[in-house]
Amino acid sequence: MAEQLLDERERNKLQWRCRRGLVENDLFIEQFFATYGSGLTARHALGLTVLMDLADNDLLDLLLRRKEPAGEVDTPEVREVLELLRRRAPAAPPLVG
């Protein structure tokens, strides 16, 4: 079940749940959904849900690698999702013209 892909409704609910108060967090989250949204599984949803229960500043500290997950937040699902969130999208090639 953990590797089952989320359907569109589940993805949309999860994405709505991930809206944050800090624009910096939202930028990471928007990029995450744009890059990985169609391949999200129940395992990813679990990791994201744990991360979204954090305060905005604590989440930002994790995203910026100021801190690493600890305690109840330190689970394989959280670490997997956190690594995906931290990845930067490849830079667009320069426009030639």
CA–CA distance, 50 with 78 (Å, rounded to integer): 7
The arithmetic mean of pLDDT across residues 63-70, rounded, is 97
Query: What's the token pair of residue 43?
Result: 């395992």
Q: How confident is the model at residue 88 (pLDDT cuts 50, 70, 90)?
A: confident
Domain spans, the chain = 8-86
pLDDT value at position 84? 96
Could you give the count of Cα atoms lying within 13 Å of 55 in the half-sphere of its Cβ? Answer: 3
The arithmetic mean of pLDDT across residues 82-88, rounded, is 93
CA–CA distance, 45 with 2 (Å, rounded to integer): 9
User: pLDDT for 4-57, tens place per residue?
Assistant: 999 999 999 999 999 999 999 999 999 999 999 999 999 999 999 999 999 999
Of 76 and 2, the one with more pLDDT: 76
One of 1.10.10.10, 3.20.20.150, 1.10.150.250, 1.10.150.120 is the CATH number of 8-86, namely 1.10.150.250
pLDDT value at position 92? 53
pLDDT value at position 55? 97
